[in-house]
Amino acid sequence: MIRVRSKKGQRLVKIGLVVFYFLIMALMFLFGRSHTVLIDNNSDPNGAYKAIDGCTISFNGEKPIEMFKGDRDKIMLRGQTHRVKVSFFNGQEDVTGTITVPLFEDAVMVSIPAFVTGKNAVSHFELYAPTEE
């Protein structure tokens, strides 16, 4: 055990511990926060892109998820930035890239066709919509 004899040294050690604890809390918040991600394979209502007939999508090198036209699936991701890989069943070249989930968003929707065409693939999604009475 280290003994600090002076009051000034004791105060510096206490301040250093407080700063260290806040740093640990900030890191745990940034890297430990999980998000609900809905994966969507539907066409754009405005016609900007069409749904993909069949593909697999994987996040951060995890197990791929099969998606067909009109499918929607849900996963939980931890952290803000994720590597995405889309592989097509028709032999088309794979598409890879990254998505960033906004920090304070609990749920987002990722559109596979928008990701493949290079458009903004991440959009806000209200998980529990309030009911009007």
**Is 80 exceeded by the pLDDT of residue 133?**
no
Helix (H/G/I), strand (E/B), else coil: 83: strand
- What is the pLDDT averaged over residues 96-119? 90
Residue 27's H or E segment, with its range, is: helix 7-32
**Is 60 exceeded by the pLDDT of residue 1?**
no
* Residue-level pLDDT at 8: 87
Q: What is the pTM assigned to this prediction?
A: 0.73
* Residue-level pLDDT at 60: 93
Long-range CB contacts for residues 65-71, cutoff 8 Å, separation at least 24: 65/39, 67/39, 67/41, 67/112, 68/41, 69/41, 70/41, 70/42, 71/39, 71/41
Instruction: From 47, 37, 42, 112, select the one nearest 71 (Cα to Cα).
Output: 42
